[in-house]
Amino acid sequence: MGLDVKTVDHQGIPVIELEGRMSGADTARVSQAIQEQLAQPADKAVVDLQKVSFVDSGGLGVFVNCWKNYREQGNELLFLIPQGQIYEIFCFANLDKTFHIIDTLEKLG
């Protein structure tokens, strides 16, 4: 199974929904989808990883680069990751200490 990427709106905040396995072949498409939201009027965006079953190091690198780009422009990139394997990967890479991770969209407040 490949990776599906789509962007939806949640109360004026763009949510980039990813579904499937994220590998090196998907990084350019994911990066583009996230970076496109910088041109939008919202000051934050969310990467939804609820339906992602795998992320490799290339995928983590995309998230780090996009997060830096958002931060440099004064915007916030959040990650929606419930407890589980993907959350553990982020913790193992110490990204849970860097990124703003939420476990539900309701926490956007």
pLDDT in tens, the chain (109 residues): 589 999 999 999 999 999 999 998 999 999 999 999 988 888 999 999 999 999 999 999 999 999 999 999 999 999 999 989 999 999 999 999 999 999 999 877 6
Best CA proximity match to 18, nearest among 56, 58, 46, 57: 46
Looking at domain 3-104, which CATH architecture does it have?
2-Layer Sandwich (3.30)
Could you tell me the two tokens for 27? 């990084």
- Domain spans, the chain: 3-104
Q: What is the pLDDT of residue 39?
A: 87
- Contacts with 96 (C-beta within 8 Å, 6 or more apart), sequence order: 87, 90
Let me know: does 12 contact 42? Beta carbons within 8 Å.
yes
